[in-house]
Amino acid sequence: MKKTLLFTLMILIMQLTYAQTKKITGFYKDNIAGEFTTESSFDSNISTDSIGKLDKKLSDEPHSLGSPADKEKTQYILSLFRRWGWDADIETFYVLFPTPKTRLLEMTSPVKYKAVLKEPALKEDATSGQKGQLPTYNAYSADGDVTAQLVYVNYGLPEDYEVLDRMGISVKGKIVIARYGRSWRGIKPKVAQEHGAVGCLIYSDPEDDGYFQGDIYPKGSYRNEYGVQRGSVVDMSGYYPGDPLTPGIGATKDAKRLNRNEAPSLLKIPVLPISYHDAAPLLKALDGPVVPVSWHGGLPFAYHFGPGKATVHLKLEFNWDLVPCYDVIAKIEGAKYPDEWVLRGNHEDAWVNGAGDPISGQATLLEEARSIGLMLKKGWRPDRTIIYCAWDGEEPGLLGSTEWVEEHLKELQEKAVVYINTDANGRGFLFAQGSPTLETLVDEISKQVVDPQTGVSVFDRRRAHDAINARTSKQKEEILNRKKMEMGALGSGSDYSSFVQHAGIPSLNLGYGGEDGSGAYHSIYDSYDLYTRFIDPGFVYCATLAKTIGHAVLRMAGADILPFDYSNLYKTASDYSEQVMNLLESSRENTMVENMLINTGSYAAGDDPTKGYIEPKVKKEVPFLDFAPLQNALQKLNGSVDNLERQFKDNLESGNAPAGFNRLLYRGEQELLAGDGLPRRPWYRNILYAPGYYTGYGVKTLPGIREAIEQRNWDEAQQQIKVDAEVLEKLAGYLRQQAVSSR
Amino acid sequence: MKKTLLFTLMILIMQLTYAQTKKITGFYKDNIAGEFTTESSFDSNISTDSIGKLDKKLSDEPHSLGSPADKEKTQYILSLFRRWGWDADIETFYVLFPTPKTRLLEMTSPVKYKAVLKEPALKEDATSGQKGQLPTYNAYSADGDVTAQLVYVNYGLPEDYEVLDRMGISVKGKIVIARYGRSWRGIKPKVAQEHGAVGCLIYSDPEDDGYFQGDIYPKGSYRNEYGVQRGSVVDMSGYYPGDPLTPGIGATKDAKRLNRNEAPSLLKIPVLPISYHDAAPLLKALDGPVVPVSWHGGLPFAYHFGPGKATVHLKLEFNWDLVPCYDVIAKIEGAKYPDEWVLRGNHEDAWVNGAGDPISGQATLLEEARSIGLMLKKGWRPDRTIIYCAWDGEEPGLLGSTEWVEEHLKELQEKAVVYINTDANGRGFLFAQGSPTLETLVDEISKQVVDPQTGVSVFDRRRAHDAINARTSKQKEEILNRKKMEMGALGSGSDYSSFVQHAGIPSLNLGYGGEDGSGAYHSIYDSYDLYTRFIDPGFVYCATLAKTIGHAVLRMAGADILPFDYSNLYKTASDYSEQVMNLLESSRENTMVENMLINTGSYAAGDDPTKGYIEPKVKKEVPFLDFAPLQNALQKLNGSVDNLERQFKDNLESGNAPAGFNRLLYRGEQELLAGDGLPRRPWYRNILYAPGYYTGYGVKTLPGIREAIEQRNWDEAQQQIKVDAEVLEKLAGYLRQQAVSSR
């Protein structure tokens, strides 16, 4: 590229960026200035000091679900909402929540070792020695008392078991030890159980979560040798989130409940998370072959697969209690459209103190609510109803939000315009996941909110960061030329799940991070002290998040025409469709080549004969599938969307949208729900995205088709192509028909 | 691919492979059977038992250059050759070889630590406690006594200093600590010195060379915490290998020598290699920012850059002695062409006992010599003269081989047909580097020598191993369809260097490995005990190497028409030419994009402002260069080669090659020498390959052009394009003219 061309391009980019800082879709021309004024007024109330005080107050003691402190916190949050002029109440559910009664882990051979299972208090961390901390455990582990040989399974993913298969190592009847990372934690015991293991340990390896990342706490923020990641292992992605005993319905006092032994999402084997201090002697005692380098973690000895002399005894017993789950729900009724709801939520329950997770997000949410309260007092009223939710019981399995959505499903599907979620927040770069129809909204806001450290827009900062850290020049250039804030799809891991995947409510999950690395996650060290030293000193990114979310809430509450971007939905679905077609092709190619390697004796000739490798088995060839239904449906959707876009533009320009046009827009995502849901997990109904069956938090797009291909279930893949095509045709029909009728 | 097609392909591959097992290029039809008989006879003499005994005997005590034991070993080798009927002698040179007088390393702040600098004897290793071991040191370090702050520089490569620049960290006046790996060791102090460091420590990090690789010695074969890699740091790649005081001439007793302070290849700063036991307290004491994850090694704490409180004192003094260097040279005169020499060598000097490096290769060489001796006794005689060389002084800087080549340069350029090198050998897969003209020879042999573990050809085994371990299906498929044994280019690191890069003698470097991982390299643990437990138990791969090399020697010694493949030389040169053109293009693209990132403020916006990053500087744009001379020269070469290939075939079929045709073939590589050599290092004259100025062992192809582009020296790059084009035209002319005249 010539120098002159380069500069022309730069100027063009700068001009575009400037033009976009003034862009706001969804408001009639005459109302744009007013919306900016409203948002400025909102911003002027946001105070880092106020957020900091809220964070300190709400994280001042351990407050896990069901604890007295948790109840107190929800009462306090309720009182705040009410003080600020919101119509607030607590809605209570009753959910299964096990807490530890017995936790014993010991190595019985080749040497004795009794695991510590305890994070020590630190003088540098004021709350780390408090009473009321939940011990280190994985919620919804089974009770169990097992003694067995130990096998190291790396991250415990399905592909790790393929490596074990090649080595001829079975985990049947064994206890596995897996390291945290690369999947949601609940996947590890689930896959271990599928392979016949009788118990599972999950530990934080210092390569992934410890001194490899930086100085350990309290010198730095990274996980120290005793730090343990608590967390749920209920099989949310395989069945459903929420209370394990009340799938699909609200866990009200009198709800019909499953017996505990009928609940499909509960594991059958005991699982315990441990520190690298406790893992080290166990791993060191393993014999058997040395692992491949990619399996080696950060502990200072050679890792081995086992099994062998290393034998461990794991005994776990839990109190299987039904506990109250307090959702704080606060409303401001809309002046124009009271039956159109803009929802926004963040959980408040923590594994321990949770100054970062979830209180940084909860304090941000409350600061937004305080600002809106101040605006109310000055006489402002939103056009649509705004509902703020402080969820309880997120940590054990999105309990509070899921039960609430299930309980209010019908009304939500009538009224909910959008659900906007946050969770732990920190210093760094804007990240955004959500329904593709909301990309324009997020894009425009990202170009208007200013990064507190650099003074550029949070869009520009994110783009600059991505560009300078991309691997290749080609990627750097592409990122630098990026015109829009890119949004990922929603998987699981926070309270948006039931909204988008079960109810079909357009949803967003936003936050800042990337310069806030720490190892405090789900430990007693997720404290105000650590947060203010390392995660977001001065709470400036919480304030930035409050503005980001506040603008989104206010725009959705005040838009003349809701800024849903269906052309981006079409584009996204179309991309996903291409991806699954490519996945089938690469699966065919991989199978063909792998079979050729086996058939030509390449494994027999190429393997190290001293290692006892087992040759992989020839796989059935991958058939060709008929993607035409999907392609035809997308073609129809494209037509409908083009038509809708024209109407959108016309309505916006005329300043006179027909009644029902907004309802058409916000209820479109519900058309993405399939009646029968996804195969074997009917609770998940959105055909466009779901948490991966074998990733947990990680999203799978067009999951019905994609996972069938990944699992080599070709008949199901073909059947899911048809299902997804029908759903997309349904959406295309909905958008066309409704749009016409709403003229 | 359809199933039937797949099987057709498999059968085709098998047929081709079978056909090729019988292929032997360079012999008249009537002589092929005889050659196979000769090779069978050679093979039948090869005994693993005999190799094992030789390995044990020659590694039974430390025998570094200049030691009494080294002299004894060369005398013993001489006696063996003579016993086996070879005409053998010792040729002695006198070379500069420093050994340690004082070695002191201590940390003086923030805590005191005195480095151990000693590998302990182990009861599991019979020779590890012997007298006469050279202490751990880097040969040709400067004398020095420095105290300075310590800075961690990762692998100490030029790109690592770019990371330091971004952090605003200078090593000027500091002592650097670099980890072994990713470059030849001598590069690390050289680059440190260029950046103003006053001292350099090099340590073996357990991630690269220790428990990350497997169990440590004596439990396994990997480097234990006290293990140290000795080695030379003389600037071979920047100037020349061989005696630092006699560049370009043989270091005979009366040779004209440089003063030590004039010798350009000697470092100016002190350098010391240390174990990870000694490195750990130093690295742990470093402060300053935490390093990026890719800089983190395998020690169990967070790595920091420094500089800060950590201060070390390094004192080194050496005995700068001139020592005798004994090359054993053994000949069998050729019956038909006594003035055409087939050379084969391996060094015999070791840093300590060297059962693997070099004795596994030396014992193999001697076993070949014994077998040939037995054949001689039965009346066999080679057509060409065979010369076997046991080099002394390889470890300090390829001294024995370089001095011998320099001393006999003229005669070698007249008579040397090929030089075949080996060094340490082990269990696994054939690797081959060499002159592209020799690829056919190696390819044919690789399909005829049988792998001792699997019974397939060593070609098939290598291909199978590469295929099953390739990353993508596409790569796997490509490898599986590979028809020829691929050879890499020769860089440096063993005794072929002066043959190919200074004298233009076609050269090969062959060996087996890949299933023989260990951390014994250049330590006292490179012992018979370790070798026979872990590297090549039973010496079966040494026997396989003896056959591989033996066949190469016998074919080159007996060929009617020497099997040089100039079409592969053309193809290789043409590939290199495309690579340097692509390098220029990617350099242009990278520069353009990096400048765009800087000019758009992306670093300012995207960097973490708390880290104090320094923004990179805008670079000059990359100009377009005129590659036409190179392309035209390659076109001419292509024509000459086509013509030559026709003659080769005709001559082979007619069974009557003209006199001089073989001489034409074997002297062609000399046409690749440029009169002035490479820029700033005239000793390196081969324009097609050289060790990289900043990689050391790692080869650079078309180095004149490539390194000028890498160093952004555009004028030099353009000038080197012309030089290389002229040289290639010279070769094209030589091949055409000579071929015609030899008709």
Residue B310, CB half-sphere, CA atoms under 13 Å: how many?
23
Could you say which of A3, A220, A590 has the minimum Cβ distance to residue B302?
A220
Which residues, other chains included, contact B661 with Cβ-Cβ below 8 Å and sequence gap of 6+?
B561, B647, B651, B739, B742
Q: How many CB atoms lie within 10 A of CB A261?
A: 7
- Strand, coil or helix: A323: strand
Q: What is the pLDDT of residue B743?
A: 43
Query: Taking a C-beta distance cutoff of 8 angstroms, is the pair A267, A190 a contact?
Result: yes
Q: How many CB atoms lie within 10 A of CB B610?
A: 11
Please give, one letter per residue, the 3-state secondary structure of B335-376: CCEEEEEEEEEEECCCCCCCCCCCHHHHHHHHHHHHHHHHHH
For the segment B100-128, the average pLDDT, to the nearest whole number, is: 98
For the segment A463-475, the average pLDDT, to the nearest whole number, is: 97
Tokens of B586: 């990617």
Tokens of B564: 């040089």
Please give, one letter per residue, the 3-state secondary structure of B285-298: HCCCCECCHHHCCC
Residue of A nearest to B596 (CA): A6
Q: What is the pLDDT of residue B5?
A: 56
Q: At residue A9, does pLDDT exceed 60?
A: no
Which residues, other chains included, contact B632 with Cβ-Cβ below 8 Å and sequence gap of 6+?
B725
For the segment A418-446, the average pLDDT, to the nearest whole number, is: 98
Which residues, other chains included, contact B130 with Cβ-Cβ below 8 Å and sequence gap of 6+?
B61, B62, B353
Q: At residue A710, does pLDDT exceed 50?
A: yes
Q: Do A608 and B515 touch (CB under 8 A)?
A: yes
Tokens of B533: 């437990």
Q: At residue B549, does pLDDT exceed 70?
A: yes
Q: What is the pLDDT of residue A397?
A: 98
Q: What is the pLDDT of residue B222?
A: 98
Q: What is the pLDDT of residue A575?
A: 98
Of all helices (H) and strands (E), which one includes residue A575?
Answer: helix A566-599
* B365-401 per-position pLDDT tens digit: 999 999 999 999 999 999 999 999 999 999 999 999 9
| Residue A438 vs residues A25, A69, A506, A666, A698: alpha-carbon distances, Å | 11, 37, 8, 10, 20
Residue of B nearest to A479 (CA): B597
Q: Where are the alpha helices (DSSP H) in B145-292?
A: 158-167, 187-194, 276-285
Q: What is the pLDDT of residue A697?
A: 84
Q: How far is it, in rounded angstroms, from Cα B477 to Cα B59?
A: 43
The DSSP string of A232-284 is E-S-TTTT-SS-TTSTTS---TT-----GGG-TTS-SS-EEEE-HHHHHHHHH
Q: What are residue B687's phi and psi, to 5 degrees?
A: -75, -10
Residue window 441-460, chain B: list those with CB within 8 Å of chain A: 451, 453-454, 456, 460
Q: Do B605 and A465 touch (CB under 8 A)?
A: yes
Q: What are residue A601's phi and psi, to 5 degrees?
A: 75, 20
Could you say which of A13, A592, A602 has the minimum Cβ distance to residue B468?
A602
Q: What is the pLDDT of residue A19?
A: 52
Q: Do A453 and B609 touch (CB under 8 A)?
A: yes
**Taking Cα atoms as reference points, which of A342, A301, A286 lies closest to residue A558?**
A342
Q: How far is it, in rounded angstroms, from Cα B304 to Cα B639?
A: 58
Residue of A nearest to B477 (CA): A593
Residue window 503-532, chain B: list those with CB within 8 Å of chain A: 515
Q: At residue B53, does pLDDT exceed 70?
A: yes
- For residue B242, the one-letter residue type is G
Q: What is the pLDDT of residue A6?
A: 53
Query: Taking a C-beta distance cutoff of 8 angstroms, is the pair B676, B668 a contact?
Result: no
Q: Residue A456: list chain B partners with CB under 8 A.
A: 601, 605
The number of helix segments (H) and strand segments (E) in chain A equals 23, 16
pLDDT category, B696, cuts 50, 70, 90? confident
Looking at every residue in chain A, the average pLDDT score rounds to: 96
Q: At residue B163, does pLDDT exceed 90?
A: yes
For the segment A698-713, the average pLDDT, to the nearest whole number, is: 97
Q: How many CB atoms lie within 10 A of CB B319?
A: 11
Which residues, other chains included, contact B440 with Cβ-Cβ below 8 Å and sequence gap of 6+?
B25, B563, B565, B568
Q: How far is it, in rounded angstroms, from Cα B660 to Cα B329?
A: 27
| Shortest alpha-carbon distance between residue B573 and chain A (Å) | 27
Which residues, other chains included, contact B546 with Cβ-Cβ below 8 Å and sequence gap of 6+?
B46, B51, B364, B367, B368, B371
Q: How many residues does chain A have?
A: 743
| Residue B419 vs residues A247, A302, B46, B338, B476: alpha-carbon distances, Å | 77, 41, 22, 16, 33
Q: At residue B17, does pLDDT exceed 60?
A: no
Domains of chain A: 3-95+323-448+489-558 (3.40.630.10), 96-322 (3.50.30.30), 449-484 (no CATH), 566-741 (1.20.930.40)
Is A212 an interface residue toward B (CB < 8 Å)? yes
Residue window 559-588, chain A: list those with CB within 8 Å of chain B: 586
Q: What is the pLDDT of residue A22?
A: 80
Is A261 an interface residue toward B (CB < 8 Å)? no
Is A540 an interface residue toward B (CB < 8 Å)? no
Q: At residue A360, does pLDDT exceed 90?
A: yes
Q: Do B586 and A298 touch (CB under 8 A)?
A: no
Q: How far is it, in rounded angstroms, from Cα A405 to Cα B335?
A: 95
Query: Taking a C-beta distance cutoff of 8 angstroms, is the pair B88, B373 a contact?
Result: no
What value of ipTM does the predicted structure carry?
Answer: 0.94
Q: How far is it, in rounded angstroms, from Cα A395 to Cα A392?
A: 8
| Shortest alpha-carbon distance between residue A615 and chain B (Å) | 11
For the segment A426-445, the average pLDDT, to the nearest whole number, is: 98
Q: How far is it, in rounded angstroms, from Cα B683 to Cα B500?
A: 11
Q: Is the peptide bond before B358 cis (omega within 30 degrees of 0)?
A: yes
Quote the DSSP letter at residue B698: S
Four-residue CA torsion sign, A2, A5, A7, A9:
negative
* A630-648 per-position pLDDT tens digit: 999 999 999 999 999 999 9
Q: Residue A305: list chain B partners with CB under 8 A.
A: none
Q: What is the pLDDT of residue B22?
A: 80
R_g over Cα of chain B: 26
Q: What is the pLDDT of residue A743?
A: 43
Q: B333 — alpha (psi -120 to 50), left (phi > 0) or beta?
A: beta
* B583-616 per-position pLDDT tens digit: 999 999 999 999 999 999 999 999 999 999 999 9
Q: At residue B740, does pLDDT exceed 90?
A: no
Q: How many residues does chain B have?
A: 743
Is A465 an interface residue toward B (CB < 8 Å)? yes
pLDDT category, B737, cuts 50, 70, 90? confident
- For residue A234, the one-letter residue type is V
Q: What is the pLDDT of residue B458?
A: 98
For the segment B389-416, the average pLDDT, to the nearest whole number, is: 98
Q: A729 — alpha (psi -120 to 50), left (phi > 0) or beta?
A: alpha
Could you say which of A215, A476, A605 has the minimum Cβ distance to residue B454?
A605
Q: How far is it, in rounded angstroms, from Cα B78 to Cα B73?
A: 8
The DSSP string of B619-673 is -PPPPP---HHHHHHHHHHHHHHHHHHHHHHHHHHHT-PPTTHHHHHHTGGGGGB
Q: What is the pLDDT of residue B1?
A: 43
Q: At residue B357, does pLDDT exceed 50?
A: yes
- For residue A574, the one-letter residue type is S
Angle at B233 between CA B231 and CA B237, to 5 degrees: 120
Q: How many CB atoms lie within 10 A of CB A316?
A: 24
Q: What is the pLDDT of residue B112?
A: 98
- For residue B630, the one-letter residue type is L
Q: Do A609 and B453 touch (CB under 8 A)?
A: yes
For the segment A544-568, the average pLDDT, to the nearest whole number, is: 98
Q: At residue B650, does pLDDT exceed 80?
A: yes
**Taking Cα atoms as reference points, which of B515, B440, B450 lies closest to residue B485?**
B440
Q: How far is it, in rounded angstroms, from Cα B329 to Cα B350?
A: 18
